[in-house]
Chain A
Amino acid sequence: MTISKLCSVLDAKVLSLPDDTREIKGVYIGDLLSWVMGRAKADDAWITIMSNINVVAVASLSDVSCIILAEGVELDDDVIATAKAKFINIISVDKGAYEIAALLSREL
Protein backbone atom coordinates (compact mmCIF):
# COMPACT_ATOMS: atom_id res chain seq x y z
CA MET A 1 0.00 0.00 0.00
CA THR A 2 1.31 3.48 -0.78
CA ILE A 3 1.25 6.25 1.77
CA SER A 4 -1.29 8.14 -0.36
CA LYS A 5 -3.69 5.21 -0.05
CA LEU A 6 -2.97 4.99 3.66
CA CYS A 7 -3.90 8.66 4.14
CA SER A 8 -7.31 8.12 2.56
CA VAL A 9 -7.98 4.86 4.43
CA LEU A 10 -7.24 6.57 7.74
CA ASP A 11 -8.73 9.97 6.87
CA ALA A 12 -5.39 11.38 8.00
CA LYS A 13 -4.17 14.92 8.46
CA VAL A 14 -0.91 15.31 6.54
CA LEU A 15 1.88 17.04 8.50
CA SER A 16 4.87 16.15 6.31
CA LEU A 17 4.70 14.21 3.06
CA PRO A 18 7.90 14.63 1.05
CA ASP A 19 7.93 10.98 -0.10
CA ASP A 20 4.33 10.19 -1.06
CA THR A 21 5.11 7.18 -3.28
CA ARG A 22 6.69 5.26 -0.39
CA GLU A 23 5.29 1.74 0.07
CA ILE A 24 4.07 0.47 3.45
CA LYS A 25 4.79 -3.18 4.07
CA GLY A 26 3.97 -3.61 7.75
CA VAL A 27 3.07 -1.84 10.99
CA TYR A 28 4.87 -1.30 14.29
CA ILE A 29 3.28 0.33 17.35
CA GLY A 30 5.38 1.78 20.18
CA ASP A 31 6.40 4.90 22.08
CA LEU A 32 9.72 3.82 23.58
CA LEU A 33 12.22 4.83 20.92
CA SER A 34 14.78 2.09 21.48
CA TRP A 35 12.05 -0.55 21.26
CA VAL A 36 11.04 0.94 17.95
CA MET A 37 14.64 0.91 16.69
CA GLY A 38 15.08 -2.64 17.93
CA ARG A 39 11.87 -4.11 16.56
CA ALA A 40 10.37 -2.04 13.74
CA LYS A 41 11.30 -3.19 10.24
CA ALA A 42 12.26 -1.09 7.24
CA ASP A 43 9.13 0.05 5.33
CA ASP A 44 6.83 -0.35 8.37
CA ALA A 45 4.34 2.36 9.23
CA TRP A 46 5.16 3.40 12.82
CA ILE A 47 2.20 4.28 15.04
CA THR A 48 3.06 6.36 18.12
CA ILE A 49 1.87 9.18 20.34
CA MET A 50 5.42 10.54 20.79
CA SER A 51 5.85 13.93 19.17
CA ASN A 52 9.27 15.29 20.15
CA ILE A 53 12.01 16.01 17.61
CA ASN A 54 13.75 12.67 18.25
CA VAL A 55 10.97 10.73 16.46
CA VAL A 56 12.25 12.19 13.18
CA ALA A 57 15.75 10.79 13.74
CA VAL A 58 14.35 7.43 14.85
CA ALA A 59 12.14 7.20 11.75
CA SER A 60 15.06 8.13 9.51
CA LEU A 61 17.49 5.66 11.03
CA SER A 62 14.96 2.82 11.25
CA ASP A 63 13.96 3.46 7.64
CA VAL A 64 10.22 3.24 8.42
CA SER A 65 7.96 4.45 5.61
CA CYS A 66 6.01 6.91 7.77
CA ILE A 67 5.09 7.99 11.28
CA ILE A 68 1.40 7.82 12.14
CA LEU A 69 0.61 10.00 15.14
CA ALA A 70 -2.36 8.44 16.92
CA GLU A 71 -5.04 10.23 18.98
CA GLY A 72 -4.80 13.32 16.77
CA VAL A 73 -1.40 14.28 18.22
CA GLU A 74 0.03 17.44 16.66
CA LEU A 75 3.64 18.52 16.07
CA ASP A 76 5.52 21.74 16.69
CA ASP A 77 6.40 23.66 13.53
CA ASP A 78 10.13 23.05 13.97
CA VAL A 79 9.57 19.28 14.12
CA ILE A 80 7.52 19.45 10.91
CA ALA A 81 10.25 21.50 9.23
CA THR A 82 12.90 18.97 10.28
CA ALA A 83 10.76 16.07 9.03
CA LYS A 84 10.37 17.70 5.62
CA ALA A 85 14.10 18.40 5.42
CA LYS A 86 14.95 14.80 6.37
CA PHE A 87 12.41 13.39 3.92
CA ILE A 88 10.25 11.82 6.66
CA ASN A 89 6.51 11.27 6.14
CA ILE A 90 4.31 12.11 9.15
CA ILE A 91 0.53 12.03 9.37
CA SER A 92 -1.82 12.54 12.28
CA VAL A 93 -4.96 10.45 12.76
CA ASP A 94 -7.75 11.17 15.21
CA LYS A 95 -8.05 7.54 16.30
CA GLY A 96 -6.36 5.27 18.81
CA ALA A 97 -3.45 2.99 17.86
CA TYR A 98 -5.63 -0.13 17.96
CA GLU A 99 -8.26 1.32 15.65
CA ILE A 100 -5.58 2.53 13.21
CA ALA A 101 -3.89 -0.88 13.18
CA ALA A 102 -7.23 -2.63 12.68
CA LEU A 103 -8.00 -0.44 9.66
CA LEU A 104 -4.52 -1.10 8.19
CA SER A 105 -4.75 -4.85 8.70
CA ARG A 106 -7.54 -4.99 6.11
CA GLU A 107 -5.31 -3.33 3.53
CA LEU A 108 -1.93 -5.02 4.08
Chain B
Amino acid sequence: MSEVLNFRFLVDGEDFTSAGQASVKVKKNLRQLGISPETIRRVSIAMYEGEINMVIHARGGVADVNVAEDYVEIVLADKGPGIKDINQAMQEGFSTAPDSVRSLGFGAGMGLPNMKRYTDYMDIQSTVGEGTTITMRVNIE
Protein backbone atom coordinates (compact mmCIF):
# COMPACT_ATOMS: atom_id res chain seq x y z
CA MET B 1 0.00 0.00 0.00
CA SER B 2 1.19 3.53 -0.74
CA GLU B 3 1.83 5.98 2.07
CA VAL B 4 -0.93 7.21 4.37
CA LEU B 5 -1.67 10.94 4.58
CA ASN B 6 -2.43 12.22 8.07
CA PHE B 7 -4.31 15.34 9.14
CA ARG B 8 -4.48 16.13 12.86
CA PHE B 9 -6.89 18.59 14.49
CA LEU B 10 -7.33 19.77 18.05
CA VAL B 11 -11.04 20.10 18.79
CA ASP B 12 -11.72 23.04 21.11
CA GLY B 13 -14.06 21.93 23.87
CA GLU B 14 -15.06 25.43 24.89
CA ASP B 15 -16.23 26.77 21.59
CA PHE B 16 -19.49 25.44 20.26
CA THR B 17 -19.67 27.94 17.44
CA SER B 18 -16.39 26.81 15.89
CA ALA B 19 -17.26 23.12 16.09
CA GLY B 20 -17.13 21.71 12.61
CA GLN B 21 -14.10 23.66 11.45
CA ALA B 22 -11.98 20.50 11.37
CA SER B 23 -14.65 18.66 9.38
CA VAL B 24 -14.98 21.46 6.87
CA LYS B 25 -11.18 21.54 6.52
CA VAL B 26 -11.10 17.78 5.95
CA LYS B 27 -13.82 18.13 3.35
CA LYS B 28 -11.67 20.62 1.48
CA ASN B 29 -8.53 18.48 1.76
CA LEU B 30 -10.31 15.36 0.51
CA ARG B 31 -11.74 17.28 -2.43
CA GLN B 32 -8.22 18.33 -3.40
CA LEU B 33 -7.20 14.67 -3.31
CA GLY B 34 -9.89 13.91 -5.91
CA ILE B 35 -12.08 11.73 -3.65
CA SER B 36 -15.73 11.38 -4.77
CA PRO B 37 -18.31 13.83 -3.36
CA GLU B 38 -20.42 11.05 -1.79
CA THR B 39 -17.40 9.59 0.04
CA ILE B 40 -16.41 13.07 1.22
CA ARG B 41 -19.96 13.68 2.42
CA ARG B 42 -19.94 10.47 4.47
CA VAL B 43 -16.53 11.18 6.00
CA SER B 44 -17.25 14.78 6.85
CA ILE B 45 -20.69 14.17 8.41
CA ALA B 46 -19.34 11.27 10.53
CA MET B 47 -16.44 13.43 11.65
CA TYR B 48 -18.64 16.43 12.44
CA GLU B 49 -20.92 14.32 14.60
CA GLY B 50 -17.85 13.07 16.45
CA GLU B 51 -16.50 16.59 16.86
CA ILE B 52 -19.83 17.80 18.24
CA ASN B 53 -19.88 14.90 20.70
CA MET B 54 -16.40 15.81 21.93
CA VAL B 55 -17.46 19.43 22.42
CA ILE B 56 -20.71 18.53 24.20
CA HIS B 57 -19.44 15.74 26.42
CA ALA B 58 -15.65 15.73 26.67
CA ARG B 59 -14.34 19.31 26.62
CA GLY B 60 -12.71 18.65 23.28
CA GLY B 61 -10.12 16.19 22.09
CA VAL B 62 -7.97 15.22 19.14
CA ALA B 63 -9.15 14.19 15.68
CA ASP B 64 -6.84 12.31 13.34
CA VAL B 65 -7.78 11.71 9.73
CA ASN B 66 -5.72 9.15 7.84
CA VAL B 67 -6.17 8.89 4.10
CA ALA B 68 -5.02 5.56 2.66
CA GLU B 69 -5.32 4.26 -0.88
CA ASP B 70 -8.66 2.53 -0.36
CA TYR B 71 -10.16 4.08 2.78
CA VAL B 72 -10.33 7.21 4.93
CA GLU B 73 -9.91 6.60 8.66
CA ILE B 74 -11.06 9.00 11.38
CA VAL B 75 -9.79 8.53 14.93
CA LEU B 76 -11.41 10.71 17.60
CA ALA B 77 -9.80 10.59 21.04
CA ASP B 78 -10.91 12.45 24.16
CA LYS B 79 -10.30 12.42 27.89
CA GLY B 80 -13.95 12.98 28.72
CA PRO B 81 -16.23 11.09 31.11
CA GLY B 82 -16.50 7.98 28.92
CA ILE B 83 -19.65 6.18 27.79
CA LYS B 84 -21.33 4.02 30.45
CA ASP B 85 -23.42 1.85 28.15
CA ILE B 86 -22.32 1.86 24.51
CA ASN B 87 -25.31 -0.18 23.28
CA GLN B 88 -27.68 2.33 24.82
CA ALA B 89 -25.69 5.27 23.42
CA MET B 90 -25.93 3.74 19.93
CA GLN B 91 -29.75 3.77 19.99
CA GLU B 92 -31.40 6.47 17.91
CA GLY B 93 -32.97 9.05 20.20
CA PHE B 94 -30.91 8.27 23.31
CA SER B 95 -29.11 11.40 24.48
CA THR B 96 -27.50 12.78 27.62
CA ALA B 97 -26.92 16.25 26.11
CA PRO B 98 -27.97 19.24 28.24
CA ASP B 99 -30.89 21.50 27.26
CA SER B 100 -28.54 24.32 26.24
CA VAL B 101 -27.19 22.08 23.49
CA ARG B 102 -30.65 20.90 22.43
CA SER B 103 -31.78 24.47 21.89
CA LEU B 104 -29.07 24.72 19.21
CA GLY B 105 -30.58 21.76 17.36
CA PHE B 106 -28.15 19.13 18.66
CA GLY B 107 -28.66 16.42 21.28
CA ALA B 108 -31.31 14.53 19.33
CA GLY B 109 -29.62 11.21 20.02
CA MET B 110 -28.64 10.77 16.38
CA GLY B 111 -24.90 11.51 16.52
CA LEU B 112 -23.47 8.03 17.10
CA PRO B 113 -26.15 6.39 14.89
CA ASN B 114 -25.21 8.78 12.07
CA MET B 115 -21.54 7.97 12.52
CA LYS B 116 -22.41 4.29 12.17
CA ARG B 117 -24.74 4.96 9.24
CA TYR B 118 -22.15 6.81 7.18
CA THR B 119 -19.10 4.65 7.82
CA ASP B 120 -18.12 1.14 6.75
CA TYR B 121 -16.39 0.35 10.05
CA MET B 122 -16.78 1.85 13.51
CA ASP B 123 -15.19 0.86 16.81
CA ILE B 124 -15.76 2.52 20.20
CA GLN B 125 -13.29 2.07 23.05
CA SER B 126 -14.46 3.84 26.19
CA THR B 127 -13.59 3.75 29.88
CA VAL B 128 -15.73 5.65 32.35
CA GLY B 129 -13.68 8.38 33.97
CA GLU B 130 -10.84 8.09 31.45
CA GLY B 131 -12.14 8.86 27.99
CA THR B 132 -13.30 7.56 24.64
CA THR B 133 -11.59 6.71 21.38
CA ILE B 134 -13.69 6.15 18.30
CA THR B 135 -12.22 4.76 15.09
CA MET B 136 -14.22 4.97 11.87
CA ARG B 137 -13.40 4.02 8.30
CA VAL B 138 -15.07 4.92 5.05
CA ASN B 139 -14.02 2.86 2.04
CA ILE B 140 -12.99 4.78 -1.05
CA GLU B 141 -15.04 3.43 -3.95
A6 on the B face (CB < 8 A): no
Q: Quote the shortest CB–CB distance from B101 to chain A (angstroms).
A: 10
Partner of A31, one of B41, B49, B105, B113: B105
**CB atoms of A33 and B105 under 8 A apart:** yes
A41 to chain B: closest residue by CB: B41
A10 on the B face (CB < 8 A): no
**CB atoms of B105 and A61 under 8 A apart:** no
A42 on the B face (CB < 8 A): yes
Q: With A38-B110, A53-B17, A86-B24 in contact, is A61–B45 under 8 Å at CB? A: yes
B106 on the A face (CB < 8 A): yes
A63 to chain B: closest residue by CB: B41
Q: Quote the shortest CB–CB distance from A69 to chain B (angstroms).
A: 13
Q: Quote the shortest CB–CB distance from B50 to chain A (angstroms).
A: 12
Q: Between A and B, how many residue pairs show CB distances below 8 Å?
A: 68
B137 on the A face (CB < 8 A): no
**CB atoms of A37 and B104 under 8 A apart:** no
B95 to chain A: closest residue by CB: A34
Q: With A52-B104, A53-B17, A63-B41 in contact, is A35–B48 under 8 Å at CB? A: no
**CB atoms of A57 and B20 under 8 A apart:** yes
**CB atoms of B113 and A61 under 8 A apart:** no
**CB atoms of A54 and B113 under 8 A apart:** no
**CB atoms of B110 and A57 under 8 A apart:** no
Partner of A57, one of B37, B48, B113: B48
A73 to B61, CA, bound (A): 34
**CB atoms of A38 and B24 under 8 A apart:** no
Partner of A37, one of B17, B19, B49: B49
Q: With A37-B48, A38-B113, A61-B44 in contact, is A32–B37 under 8 Å at CB? A: no
Residue ranges of A at the interface with B (Cβ–Cβ < 8 Å): 31-35, 37-38, 42, 50, 52-55, 57-58, 60-63, 86
The 10 closest A-B pairs by CB, nearest first: A57-B20, A34-B110, A32-B108, A33-B105, A61-B44, A38-B114, A50-B105, A37-B45, A53-B17, A34-B108
